Each structure stands twice: as structure tokens, then as C-alpha cells.
Structure 1
Amino acid sequence: MLLLLLLTNAFVLLPWAGAGRIIGGKKAVAHSRPYMAFLEIETDSDYIKCGGFLIRPDAVLSAAHCVDEEGIENVTVILGAHNVNRQEPSQQKIRVEKWIIHPEYSPKPVKNDIVLLKLEQNAIIKKNVRLISIPKENESVRVGTECNVPGWGQTSVTGPRSDVLMEVKLKVQKEEICEQLLPDYEPQSMICVGDENHKKGTYEGDSGGPLVCNKKAYGIVSYGCGCNLFPEAFTRISHFEPWIREQLRKFAIQDIPGSPSSD
């Protein structure tokens, strides 16, 4: 009966719920996560906010469901931010030239939830704006590893969204837990994460933010179980590393004047 209840309450971390709801976490030290990106997504009828992270001066990774919306008019990335409601001197606000959703992405059921955003201009790498490494293909993180998930957003189910960056520590869990409790969980392309005590996690948002383990981004916030914060499914970045590298190569080619793909 409990298992049935959990399955029927599973949810996607929907971007329109805000940039994220870090529950049971704490306020991050200002600018201690310089790879973090705050995504502002304008549609013809809505204003969506998501997380992301900088992996190259011209490229940000996030969740595909953040930009899987009709009528998107503009996507802007804010780098170097701590308080996203202030114009901090450290901030770099850069428009997104285009975004590449994984060709096998599916919103229902959630699969291959990853997008690469090409920035109109390169970010200026400095103290408060830095890159984060991603794992190579087939590189994994051990069960029991404690990882960090940063994000802006609500700190409770009903509370207001936080202006400043929050963060929460979560552990990598055994795949069997997510296979039992989350519908359509795929170990090859997802990582099972969460807090066994059901007291902290991401919730209805934080979409696109990174799962940072041992100073690398191993996962992307994707979907979870709405009933008790546990467990959560993150997109497994190492599974998509070849696709990411291929898209980054295409980005570089397009930057060469006179190339077939350049404007």
C-alpha cells in the first residue's frame, strides 16, 4: 500500500514552480558555487526560472524540461549571482543564443532530461564565475557519497522563494530504491539520490541544478517523489558525456567566421 501511494505521488520537478525549493538545506556562502547559473525563461504567457551550471565559457547545462515549453521568447543566464534579486557587481547577464535538447528527451515518462545552452557571448571567467568539470563516459560516483545540490528557491513547501543561493547535502543511494519507488527510473541514464530521513531535498523545482560530488557535476536535478522528498532521480551526466562533447564541438565550429553553420 505504501509503495502504491509513493508511485501515485511521483512528480517531475516542474520549472514553473520556481527556480527550486531547497528543503532542509542552508544558505550557501556567498559566491562559493561560482559555476551556478540562474536561468530566466520568458514565454509569451509566463516567466520561468531554473538552475543550471557553467561547463565552458559559452555553454551551460540544465534540464530539458526547463525549456520544453511553447512560446519561449527569450532565455537569459545570470552568472556570478548570490542574491538574484539584486544587481550585484559580480553578475554577468548573458542571453542564450540557442539551446539543444537531447534528441531522445521525453517529458512523460521523464527520460534523457538534459539540455545544453549556447551563450551569445563567452562568460568572463573570474573569481565569482568559474567552470565546473563533468565526468567522463562511464565514470560513476559511489553509493553513499555525500554530494551538494545548490539552488535558489523556496525553503519549504508553502514558503516564499529564497533570493539567495541555498544548498543541501544529499547522498547517492542504491539504484534499487529508485527502481522500487520512482516510475520509469533508468539506472543507466539516472542517479538515485536523497536523504533517508526524508527531511531534506529538492522539491518541485531546482530544475537543472547540479549534483556536485567530489568537485564534479555528476547529475542534473530532474524528478522525484512528491510524497516525502525521498528518493530523487538526477540525470546521469556521464551517460550523456559523448553527446555533450559532440554538441560543444559543433558550438566551436559555428564560432569560426565563414563556417557553414555560422551566421
Structure 2
Amino acid sequence: MSIYTVLAALLVLSITTTECYPRGRILGGKESAGRPYMVSLQLDGVHFCGGLLISDEWILSAAHCMPAGNKTLHVMLGESSLKQTANSKTRVEFEIKKYFVHPLYNSSLIAHDLLLLKLPNKVNVSDAIKPMPFQKEDVDIPEGTRCLVSGWGQIRLTGKRPDTLNEVLVTVISRDQCNRRDYYDNELTDNMMCAGEKGKDSCEGDSGGPLICNSVAVGIVSFGSRKCGNAKRPGIYTRIVRYNNWINSTMHNATLQTTTTSPIKL
């Protein structure tokens, strides 16, 4: 079974007339030296989505990455290669048992496309595993800003999918421009932003990874055109700052729940 067959089964979304698709394959990029905040979401040992480590026990990803049914979701941190090697001293893996999809997530519109995953144990922060701060002030990133997007996948439209982390610099495009009729025709809300350029893009198969601008996470890879690298169908990202209250309250409430249900030691 091909990776695309697996992904098609996992990421079942309603396709709009503008042909919006889950994103993630890094097009026009290069191999990364390693990004300690990057997380690989996996089913049966197969990578299918990315994620962002935002604390020592929380991961932020895209809601459409949440697999249907009772499938066991694992995450991998601390490595830029997906291959398991006996000499890896930084790689850690966890089975995810607690997750939180944004309550307003709409799979048809791909709106409010955020997912929080709670690690069963806190990770040891190191040079290989380190949370990335996310945007706190609700302001648009200026158009023309160069930002970094990373993911595991192909760096060309054809060819074998490598197992190493890839990254590419993309340019932020104004929401007004992306909402033009010849772009996304008013599909973008204030909760979304777009970035990309001809031949450089995120693409199918690796949604959920972060968009990093000025050393701060500002977006989560959400959707885009079926034809990756299309200048008039740039990648669309969920703006993290618009969901700070939900992120913080969800993490706080989950921590309280864990504390109140833990056995009392006498």
C-alpha cells in the first residue's frame, strides 16, 4: 500500500471548488540540519503529519491530522531522520492517549484546524528537543516576511519520499491578496494566513507542522492547492495567536484534571 493510499484514508476532507487539500510535502526545499521543536505524528510506524512542540508535554498540530477510529497514534521527537537507528541517543517516542480537537473545527471548510496532543510524560528539554515559543500579540505578520516551514517528505513533485526533515523559506502574502478572486476568492478568515511562492511550498501529506517567522511559531500548516508550488494557490496556515486562549485553557484544565484524579500518597 502506498503512502498516498494511507494518507487518503486518514485525511478525509470535503474538497471545495477551489481545490483545497491537506498540506505538508516540502517542495523546493532542502534537507534540514534539525529543528528541535519538530514532531512526527505516526500510525503503525508511518509518518503522516507534523507537529510543533510548544511545552515539555504539549504538541500543537492540525485537527485534520487526527486519525478516525481507535487507531493508536504515536509521536517521535529528537530526530531529523525517521529511520530508527540503534545508536540514536536523542530520539524519543510516545503513545498519545489524550488529545483535544478545537471544538469549532469544521472539516468541510477546514476552519479552526488545530489539535492539541498531551504527552504521557514530560520530555527532557535539550538541544535535540526544545519547545518553540508561539506568537502572543494578535498582529498580522507583514507581507514579504520570509518564514520557515519544515516537514518530512518529498522536495520535488515526483520522486521517492526521503526520511529526513526538509525545510524551505516561503514569503508571507497579505490576506487581501490571497482573498482575491484569482487566488482563494474570499475563503481566508482572520484566523488564517498564507505564504508561499512559485516552486516553494508545503504540500500534501505532512500537515500540522509550524510556520516560523522571526524565531516565533505563527502558523500551523493547514491546506492549499492540489498543485503544490502554485503561485496563486499558496499554502494556508492556521494563525496560532487567534487561539491562544483555547490553547492555554485546554492545557491548564487538563493539568488540573490530572492533578485531581491522581492517587493521594500517604
- Superposed CA offset, 1:123-169 (max 9, x none): 11111000100111514321111000011011222322121110000
Corresponding letter in the other structure for 1:61: L
Q: CA deviation at 1:82?
A: 1.1
Indicate how the Cα distance of structure 1 residues 78 and 184 shifts in structure 2: closer, same or farther if over 3 A, else same.
Answer: farther
Which of these residues, 10, 22, 26, is aligned with residue 19 of structure 2? 10
Alignment of 1:59 onto 2:58: yes
Alignment of 1:205 onto 2:209: no
- Superposed CA offset, 1:3-52 (max 9, x none): xxxx84522216xxxxx3111001111x3x1000001135xxx9661100
Specify the alignment match of 2:75 in structure 1: 77
Specify the alignment match of 1:4 in structure 2: none
Output the CA distance in 2 between the equivalents of 1:184 and 1:103: 23
Alignment of 1:242 onto 2:245: yes
Indicate how the Cα distance of structure 1 residues 53 and 121 shifts in structure 2: closer, same or farther if over 3 A, else same.
Answer: same
Q: CA deviation at 1:94?
A: 1.3
What percent of counterpart residues are identical? Answer: 35
Output the CA distance in 2 between the equivalents of 1:71 and 1:183: 34
Give the structure with the larger strand fraction: 1
Q: Could you tell me whether the CA contact under 8 Å between 1:110 and 1:184 is conserved in 2? A: no
Q: Could you tell me whether the CA contact under 8 Å between 1:207 and 1:221 is conserved in 2? A: yes
Specify the alignment match of 2:138 in structure 1: 138
Alignment of 1:147 onto 2:147: yes
Q: Could you tell me whether the CA contact under 8 Å between 1:95 and 1:120 is conserved in 2? A: yes
- Superposed CA offset, 1:228-247 (max 9, x none): 52312100100011110111
Superposed CA RMSD in Å reads 2.1
Alignment of 1:102 onto 2:105: no
Specify the alignment match of 1:125 in structure 2: 125
Q: Which runs of 5+ in 2 are unaligned?
A: 1-15
Indicate how the Cα distance of structure 1 residues 63 and 184 shifts in structure 2: closer, same or farther if over 3 A, else same.
Answer: farther
Q: Could you tell me whether the CA contact under 8 Å between 2:42 and 2:49 is conserved in 1? A: yes
Alignment of 1:36 onto 2:15: no
Indicate how the Cα distance of structure 1 residues 103 and 236 shifts in structure 2: closer, same or farther if over 3 A, else same.
Answer: same
Aligned with 1:111: secondary structure?
coil
Aligned with 2:259: secondary structure?
coil
Specify the alignment match of 2:189 in structure 1: 187
Alignment of 1:112 onto 2:121: no
TM-score normalized by the length of structure 1: 0.85
Output the CA distance in 2 between the equivalents of 1:90 and 1:183: 45
Indicate how the Cα distance of structure 1 residues 233 and 82 shifts in structure 2: closer, same or farther if over 3 A, else same.
Answer: same
Output the CA distance in 2 between the equivalents of 1:217 and 1:250: 23
Output the CA distance in 1 between the equivalents of 2:103 and 2:261: 27
- Superposed CA offset, 1:63-89 (max 9, x none): 00000x322321111010111113322
Corresponding letter in the other structure for 1:254: Q
Q: Could you tell me whether the CA contact under 8 Å between 2:142 and 2:174 is conserved in 1? A: no
Output the CA distance in 2 between the equivalents of 1:163 and 1:23: 15
TM-score normalized by the length of structure 2: 0.84
Specify the alignment match of 1:251 in structure 2: 254
Q: Which runs of 5+ in 1 are unaligned?
A: 1-6, 15-19
Q: Could you tell me whether the CA contact under 8 Å between 1:11 and 1:223 is conserved in 2? A: yes
Indicate how the Cα distance of structure 1 residues 61 and 184 shifts in structure 2: closer, same or farther if over 3 A, else same.
Answer: farther
Q: Could you tell me whether the CA contact under 8 Å between 2:27 and 2:228 is conserved in 1? A: no
Indicate how the Cα distance of structure 1 residues 109 and 119 shifts in structure 2: closer, same or farther if over 3 A, else same.
Answer: same
Number of residues paired by the alignment?
241
Output the CA distance in 2 between the equivalents of 1:128 and 1:85: 16
Corresponding letter in the other structure for 1:55: I
Aligned with 2:72: secondary structure?
strand
- Superposed CA offset, 1:206-236 (max 9, x none): 2000000011110000011223523121001
